[in-house]
Amino acid sequence: MSNRPQEELRDESGGHPGEERDQTSPSREALLPASVTGERKTEHVRLCLNEEVGGSGITSGFEQYRFRHNALPELNFSDILLETEFLGRRLRTPLLISSMTGGSKATGAINARLAEAAGRRGWALGVGSVRAAVEKPDLAETFRVRERAGGIPVIANIGAVQLSYGFGVEECRRAVEIAGADWLVLHLNGLQEIFQPEGNTGFKDLLHRIESLCHTLEVPVGVKEVGWGIDGETALRLYNAGAAFIDVAGAGGTSWSQVEKFRNPDPVKRAAAEAFSDWGIPTAECIAEVRAAAPQGALVGSGGLRGGVDAAKALALGADLAGFGRSMLGPAVQSEDALDRALAQVEFELRTAMFGIGAGDLAALRGTRRLVRR
């Protein structure tokens, strides 16, 4: 039986402008307030759902690859295995719901729904930046996902730049405790901070602060981007500093300079955001480059993945897990059933891609020679 939030905030006005609403289904904004709240986390979700915030003129790069079909796979579809191991933990799938949200009443309800779905289906789960709850304890409940997520790995999240603004081991430890997390990820979001009205841009000497935290905190610490990608050289520096895993979070999905332009009252920065709409390193390129630079490093491939075939390509290129963010946000806001269907579809597409090349497990998928450039 589902443990739904006691207070679900519903939008009585319907779905997107100009979109016919299915009267038998919940609104696509079922967990969002009906009007603008001014809460940064809630408005981030609203903008991601309702505005064009994807990069323009840049893609994830997965379309540059295709699988060569195997007409004689010599395996039963029902025998295909998705089980994997990541940082010593067994997972039922090599799939991750990437860090997205939390920090307000509405986004806490979204986190709860994401946690329940991830727990049911065996996906790993990341939460949005827990900084808000560390600074304002009354927001902690919006990140408490452990009970709903069951035994799956949970990843707490803090902006790496906050290490330059007073956050240290104790604050990071508190973030992990709040989320009931197994791991912590530090996100690198330099361009977002530039365009964000409240942005913090003190990135100088950040690597040694990351290194200190990696060697002090009791849980594994990873590093991720937020949509512009991590190249091989930077990843190697981070691994050498003690990062337990890298999430490349490459270009091709959400562009946070595009998100923040809708929030920034500065006309110069709003206009300048357009110059960076095609900024970043495509996700597929990031995965291949990081894997070449660090063959044994734990690696997550996220950023603009559209479905299970992209997940298969990410894994074949060298990722250990494939992460999904904004593509899961709409279903999560809509309904529990919509989210479950979205996760199930990714799994089905991944299994079908593996069947189509004759890969019965993830080792065979990662070792395939059937992923080729177009």
Q: In this structure, how many other beta carbons lie within 10 angstroms of the beta carbon of residue 106?
A: 26
Contacts of 79 (CB under 8 A, 6+ apart): 360
* Distance (Å, whole) CA 178 – CA 160: 18
Q: Over the stretch 264-296, which tens digit does the pLDDT of each residue have?
A: 999 999 999 999 999 999 999 999 999 999 999
- pLDDT exceeds 70 at position 14: no
Question: What DSSP string describes 184-215?
Answer: EEEEE-HHHHHHSTT-----TTHHHHHHHHHT
pTM assigned to the model: 0.89
Structure token pair of residue 177: 């405790």
- The DSSP result for 125-163, as a single string, is EE-S-THHHHH-GGGGGGG--HHHHTTS-EEEEEEGGGG
* Two structure tokens written together for 342: 């979205």
Give the closest residue to 372 by CA, choosing from 75, 58, 62: 62
What is the mean predicted confidence (pLDDT) over 54-82? 97
Neighbouring C-beta atoms of residue 200, cutoff 10 Å: 15
Mean pLDDT of 60-75: 98
How far apart CA 331 and CA 219 sit, in angstroms, is 31
What single letter denotes the amino acid at residue 61? Answer: G
User: Rounded to 5 degrees, what are φ and ψ at 205?
Assistant: 60, 30
Would you say residue 206 has pLDDT above 60? yes
**Does position 181 have pLDDT exceeding 90, yes or no?**
yes
Q: Which of 10-24, 186-200, 307-321, 324-338 has the lowest mean pLDDT?
A: 10-24
Distance between CA atoms of residues 286 and 127, nearest Å: 23
Angstrom distance (rounded) from CA 359 to CA 213: 39
Amino acid 50: pLDDT: 85
What pLDDT is attached to residue 11? 33
Sign of the C-alpha dihedral computed for residues 56, 155, 44 and 18 taken in this order? positive
Nearest by Cα to 346 from 298, 313, 300: 313
Other C-beta atoms within 10 Å of 43: how many? 17
Average pLDDT in the chain? 91
User: Average pLDDT for residues 22-32, to the nearest whole number?
Assistant: 49
Q: What is the mean pLDDT of residues 8-30?
A: 37
pLDDT for residue 76 is more than 90: yes
pLDDT for residue 134 is more than 80 = yes
Residue in the structure block whose two tokens are 């920090």: 103
Chain center to CA of 118: 13
Task: Provide the pLDDT for residue 24.
Answer: 34
Distance from C-alpha of 144 to C-alpha of 2, rounded to nearest angstrom: 16
Question: For residue 197, what are the CA distances in angstroms to 101, 254, 262, 265, 279?
Answer: 18, 18, 10, 8, 20
Q: Band the pLDDT of 22: cuts 50, 70, 90.
A: very low
> pLDDT value at position 38?
53
pLDDT higher than 80, residue 103: yes
Question: In whole angstroms, what is the distance from residue 186 CA to residue 242 CA?
Answer: 12
pLDDT at site 39: 77
Domains of the chain: 43-373 (3.20.20.70)
Residue type, position 81, single letter: L
- Radius of gyration over every alpha carbon of the chain, rounded to an integer in angstroms: 20
Q: Comparing 8 with 197, which gets the higher pLDDT?
A: 197
